[in-house]
Structures are given as C-alpha cells and as structure tokens.
Structure 1
Amino acid sequence: MNLLEDLRWRGLISQSTDESALQEALKKPITLYIGFDPTAASLHVGNLVVLLVLRRFQLAGHNPIALVGGATGLVGDPSGRNEERTLNSNDTVAEWVSNIREQVSSFLDFDKGPNKAQVVNNLDWTSPLSAIEFLRDIGKHFSVNQMLAKDSVSSRLESGGISYTEFSYQVLQSLDFLELYRRYQCTLQLGGSDQWGNIVAGLDLIRRVEGGSGHALTIPLLTKSDGSKFGKTASGSIWLEASMTSPYAFFQYWLNTDDKDVIKFLKVFSFKSHQEISELEKAHDANPGMREAHRALARELTSLVHSSEIAERVEEAARALFGQGDLGSLDEATLAGALSELPRITIKSGESIPTWVDLLAATGVVDSKSAARRIVKEGGAYLNNAKVESEDFALQKSDFLCGKYALLRKGKRDLAAVELL
C-alpha cells in the first residue's frame, strides 16, 4: 500500500487538488510543509493529527518542513472562529514560537539521510517587507471577490464581521507557500480541512508569480463519536507540554477514549501496521473490558510525546493508584501528576491533621462524615492502598508519600488526594 492509500485507510485525507497527479509526484522525493501558528505556549493533541502526517511523509522518504508562524501568529487566523482573536505581544509570540519549534523538532528527524527535516519561521521573510512592497508585489495578485467567498471569511461576515488584520491572513499564508516554493522547491502544503481556501490561494499565488505548480492535501478535523470536540476535557485542552498537561493526565486521556473511537484514533495517531491495528480491533471487539486497544494507544502516544520511560512510569502510577502497584516506588513528579487529577484538599505544615473520615468527607468523595464512617465499617477505606480499620484513624506526617502526598480511596475506584504544604 502506498503512502496516499495508507493515509486514506487511516481516514487522513479530506481534500486534494489532484490526487492522481500527487500520486505521480510522490514516486520521487518531494518537499512539503505544514504551518503551526503560536496561539498558545504549547501545541495540543489536535495539532498532533497533522504533525504526525508530516512524520509519515518523512518516513516515506519525503522532505518535511515544519513552519512556525512567527508572523501569522501576530495576525490571527479567522478559520473556525466567530470572533476576532486577542492579539498577543511580540515578546509573547516570540516565546511561543521558540516553544513550538522545540516541540515539533522531537517528532521529525533533523540529523540523518537526504530527507532530513527543517523548521522555519515565516517572520524571517515577512518582517523585512515594507507595507508598500507587500501590497504591490503580493497583494495585487489577490481578488477581493475571491477572498470574500472563502468559507473562513464568509462565515465571519455572516456572524458580525472581520477585521482587515484577520482578512489579510490568507495573503500571508499564501506568501509562505510562495517563499518555501522559491527557497526549497516545496510543492505540497498539508493542513487541516479548514485551511483548504488558504492553501489553494497559495497555489494560485505560485502560479501567478513564478508560473509554477504544486499540490494541496488537507486532513479531516478529528471529532469524537459523541459529537464533542476532540482534544478537550472538562479541565481544558490536552497539551503536549508536560507542565501544562501532566504525562499522567495525557496517558489517562487516551486510556479513557470512548470504545467507539479507539480504533479510529489508533489509525490516526499510531504508527502500528494495518495488521497490528486489525488484531487490536479484533481483541477489542471480542472483549472491550480488557481495554487492550486503549492501552496500546495510550502507551504509544505517551511514549511518542514524552518518552517510553515516562510512559512506563505513568502506567505504573495508574496501576498503583488502584492498589495494583507500589505507591511508594513512584517518584515525586510522577506521583504529583497522577494525583493532580483527583479531588484534593491541602493541609498547611503545622496544622493538625484531621482523621481519615474528616478528610474523605472534605474532598467531596462522600456526602458526609457518617457516610465515610460507614465506608470504614464496611472495609472499603484505604490510605495509600492500606486498609483503614478505625473511624478515628488520623494521618501522621510519616503517612505522606514523598513527604507531601497521601492517597485516600473509597472502595475500588473512588480516589482523593491530600497534600501537605
């Protein structure tokens, strides 16, 4: 199966300018790119969809460029939004550009072989341009009528309007494609399906200015089977940066994938072969409760984003939280990440430490202290996975793991944390 056939099997092709022509072009190594705007301090799992497609092209022998939008990030992309973005300061965008450059560098090979990857910043060719040069040399090639007809613009006009700043985003993105075509003979741009209009505008600019041609390939925007937005939880976005989403929370996000979505997500994110995914699908259909496919997904993605060592540690932490491993063997960072997702209360150093019953009630895991006492009587009360036998049991400082954390458990699955400050 060739690259495009594989992408289609994985559900990763939405639109293409001419798929047969692209298929022919891919018989030899080509240069392609994807752009990432610095709209936050980190990429999120939604960005991972297209970033991993870029990785698939490199593994197939092609030359990938990851463009970080130091210029376009100062302007704001109107796609998929009903209101203007808040413009960030130059210093903030520059810091985010640096973060994202580092992140994308961990997914591509920059050192070996003839098709080593590159990371570029569109501020490098945009900032030297004067306004007059931009309008005369680039702007003159754009029809306002055609720009108004683009979905991202027309939807904004219908919802209340769009500023000239965001209206000009399409021109800047097109300039990127033109510059990469000139500098690196880049002939393919990848992007989310909401970027189709901007990408084909770049192809048109290449044709008008250089008399050249290229290709566009878009990737569907990923959705969950229940209609909710992919990459979002009750606590917010799932980020690739460990300080913004802990590796434990990252692992759990994939582990908690809906049964209806897990095979689809394996196809989109995993680098397992078709046969391996097919075998996981059969195992999942035969016994969904084993969650074999979910664990394979969580292990691979956590290893890819954070490292295989961290993936092993957070999986060990997940087992330990539910009494299937040794909590005391966890390092402080892994333990803190695992407990960060739980209901918790804090106790300041020097304050008296309440009883287990008081603490569990205070976390909200049970409705009242009487309910907590009943849990103790029924044998379902645990501190750090050790059974609590007395309603009056009070924690000691020695009970706090790493000198800071204690795990309360009711029954098999209801957990809460206590942090000693």
Structure 2
Amino acid sequence: MTVISRRRVLQVGAGMVPALALGARPATAQAAAIPVTGVVPAQLAGFDTAMKTYITERNISCAQLAVAKNGKILLARGYGSYVRNGVTVAVQPTSLFRIASLSKSLTAAALTRLAQDENVDLNDKVAPMLGLSTTADPRLADVTLVRLLQHIGGWDRTTTYDPLFHDATIAASLGTSLPIDREDIMKYVTGRKLDFAPGTKYVYSNYGYLLAARVLEEISGMTYQAYVHKRLLDPVGITRPRLGKSLRSQADATEVPYESQYTSKSVVDDSGATVPSPYGGFSMPNQGANGGWLASAVDMLKWGFVFDGAGPVLNAASISKVFAQPEIGVQPGGWWYGLGWQVRNNNAGTLNTWHNGSMPGTFSFFARIQNGVSYCAIFNRREETATPDFDTIDPILGQATGAVTTWPTTDLTPNYF
C-alpha cells in the first residue's frame, strides 16, 4: 500500500515553496540527542538537521537517510535505536527496513529485464499467460503487462477495495481458511468485474503488481525473489535486500522493529487474535512484488544508479521504457506513472523520478532529481491519527538539496556493499 505525493515538484531553484508540516514543532535538544551512526559531511549537515527535526516531530524511533550525487553515495546515516533480546541496538546505515511500495521499482525493472532477454513484449496480454478466465469480465483480455505496471489495468481500490489487505473477506468468499496466498487472491479477483476499462485511466493498484510477478515466474521458471537477485541485484553487487516476513518472530537479524498505534485481526492464521497491525495485520509474503522487500537506504540509492545509464541490468532502450509516458498521457499535476516510478520533467531538461511507500509500521521515500542528486529516507512508522504529515519529507529533502553550496567528493559507496 502506498500514498503517493501529488505535489512532487522538486525543481530546485525554481521558486518551489515547501508544504508546511502539520503540527510541526521547532527543533529542540531532543533532536540533537537522537542516537546516530554513519557519515554526514559538513557540506550536507542541512540534511542531517532536517532529518532530526522531522524524526523528533513525529516521535520516530528508527530511521535512515542516504544521499548521493553522480553515482557516489555522499551521506549515509542511521537514526535512533531499539531493544532486541534485552540489548539496545543502534540503527545502522545498513539496517534493514520494510520499504513498502519502493518495491515496485524492482518488480517493474524485473519485467522490463524479462522483456529485454526473452521473447516477451510488455504489450503482451496477461490473461493467457496466467490462464485467467475472462468470463466474469471480458475486458480482462485487454490487460497487458505494461498496463499492470502503469496502474491502468482496470482495478480501482477506491471503488471496491485493495485485495492485498482484505484477506479475511477473500478467505470467507472462497470458503477457505487463513492464511490465504497469491493464488487465492487471483482466484477471487478474477471472479469479479473490473472497475474500469483497461488503459483508460490511472488508478494505483497493488494487485496489478502481484499479477506482474506471477507472469515473471511463469515465463522465467524462477521464483520472483530469485529472479530479482540474479538479474537485477547480483550484477551490480547489491546483496542485502530480501523479501520480508509477517511476524516479529520472523524478523531478519538486522531488521528494525515497526511501530503503529493500531491493531488488527490476524490474517496469518484463523485464531481471530488481535495483533499489532505491522505484525500479522497483513501478509508480507502476499505483498511481495508490490511492497514486500526489505532494504536499507544505501541499497536503494545503489539500485537507483542502475537507471543512470545502460549497464549490466538494463540497456538504454529498457531504461527509456521505464520512464516513458503511458498511453493515457500526463496527469493534471504534470507528472506520469512510468514503470514503477512517478516521473516529471524538471527545469534542468532531465527527469525527476520518485516513489514513496506506506504500510502499517513503514514510510519510505526515494527520489532521483536533477543534477545527478538522489536521496532515500526510510522510517519505522507512518502517518497516523494526530501525527504530522509524513509526505512533507519530500519538500524538506528538496529544500536541503537546494541549500547545498558545495558538494563533497568522498565516495562512501564502497563502504556499503
């Protein structure tokens, strides 16, 4: 699940006015006292100060920030700490976080790589690839891979609901027990009518990315995670990212804990137990391709370097496809959704590309903007009732970028392989 910023501009120097944080408080000694790890060059101190203020205002216990320019990581920071097995652990620049919908850039690139290597076209129809019946709605025959990846496939979670977060409803409809899996979700959704004609409008769809991953597995003969590692991450030496698990007891050894004021009925079993929303309130294995990855901010920046030019992962033609405008054109705000990224033209004659991610216990934001600058921030909670607006991390980091007068040159990238 994600909440995408509609006000993303970040045309530094173009007179962009940052949105104000709701209920924001001034920086205090509390911000200065936040435990920190990693490296912040003096020239980029503004980023560090902004992050500490943001974290303090929102009572965030674990966070990361990484900043890069022209393919070099220049700032890598962990903020906060947590207790595990009675031991206080400081968040490191390499600690793992759930990144939520930042996962979509991996999935879209995987399908693009599949089309680059195999006899597959992104305009191919999905139903025959997966053996999906079109009886409930013949328009399902018009759903293509590219329409899945650009969120124009025909599913509208505001009209019905997001099937990735309604496990109990699906289980009851199918007469099966919890937990459900991806095949159950596909069976349920395929038996219902689409919400709109494919290719006619943009509506964000986690389910579309679930289907895309299943196509990847059918064509490649590999699991989704194995394909992403072998074809996308291994060739550029990115080793840490992996798919996350639902329960606290299943957390990776270097994974931070997730916080939420909310509880949910468990979807990982039929116990009917009430659980913390981040730990059993939704299924991480089912999120997979749309929001299931664990990574660090430095991992995401290194992943972003893949799109700077042709390389061992994607060729130039494939990268162009990733950022191309969809058939429905540009949204009213001047942006469009490519393949796993939001995109807009900037005032430097290039493209700003970005995405955020949001699910119970997680908020993430990753942007690649003009002049070779990129940054990623990840947090172990998201905006909830009575908390300030989390989307303000967007203009906050943009403002910090515009305030830099001299960029450092020491490349920290080799420290984080």
TM-score normalised by L of structure 2: 0.27
Q: Which has the larger radius of gyration?
A: 1
Higher RCO, Cα 8 Å, sep 6+? 2
TM-score normalised by L of structure 1: 0.27
**Structure (1/2) with the larger helix percentage:** 1
